[in-house]
Amino acid sequence: MECQFVPSVCSYCGTGCGVLFEVINGKIVGTLPMKTHPVNEGKLCLKGWNLHEHINSFMRVKQPLVKTFGRFIKTDWQEAISLTADRFRGIINQYGPDSIGVLVSAKITNEENYLAQKFARAVIGTNNVDHCARL
């Protein structure tokens, strides 16, 4: 019986409360708040308390999926990326670059946010960049 307590940060909103995962035999079975964390001091919201269910949910997407004839078919990364790139190129040629918008998030790093807006502005050529906190 292997039991560990792994400290981590909640992945939902931008607050970043400290959580402890109860890992028994290599599987996450429970979530506890971290009492000495300066942000939350031992308190969690409903989303934070149920992180262990989110991680182990059967509804998590594990492979890229492509919608073919109305149904989702599993593919691999290479095909998914080239398909997306071709479709973006097609849309830009047909409707112009401003038809694509990019949404960034509070739970990815600042560097990834910068990368996303650079991608939107330099590669796609649009200023339509927005953030999940504004929604």
Partner 1 sequence: MINNVKAWLEDGIVDVFLGYREMDHHHLPHCFTREHMEEVDDLVISQVRYPLEKIATHMTEMDPDIKIGMLARDCNDRALNVLFLWNQLKAENVSTLTVNCCPSRLKEHGDCSYLTPEKAGVFKKQVGVDNNLEVEELDTYGRKERLNRWMYEFQKCIKCYGCRNICPVCFCKECSLEHDELIKTGPLLPEIPIFHMVRAVHMAGRCIDCGLCEAACPMDIPLRLLYGKVSQIVKDVFDYDTGSSALESPFNILGDKVALEPKPMEPAIAVNE
Which residues here bind partner 1, judged by CB under 8 A? 1-5, 7, 20, 22, 24-25, 29-30, 32-37, 42-46, 48-49
| Residue 133 CB, nearest approach to partner 1 (Å) | 19
Smallest separation, CB 39 to partner 1 (Å): 12
Comparison of 20 and 92: residue with beta carbon closer to partner 1: 20
Nearer to partner 1, 35 or 89 (CB): 35
Q: Which is nearer to partner 1, 24 or 81 (CB)?
A: 24
Cα of 2 vs its chain's centroid, Å? 29
The distance of Cα 102 from the centroid of its chain, to the nearest Å, equals 14
Q: Can you read off the two tokens belonging to residue 50?
A: 């149920």
CB atoms within 10 A of CB 18: 20
Give 48 or 120: the residue with its C-beta nearer to partner 1. 48
CA distance 106 to 93: 31
Give me the least distance between CB of 126 and partner 1, in Å please: 36
How many Cβ atoms from other residues are within 10 Å of residue 99's Cβ? 12
d(C-alpha 39, C-alpha 123), whole Å: 38
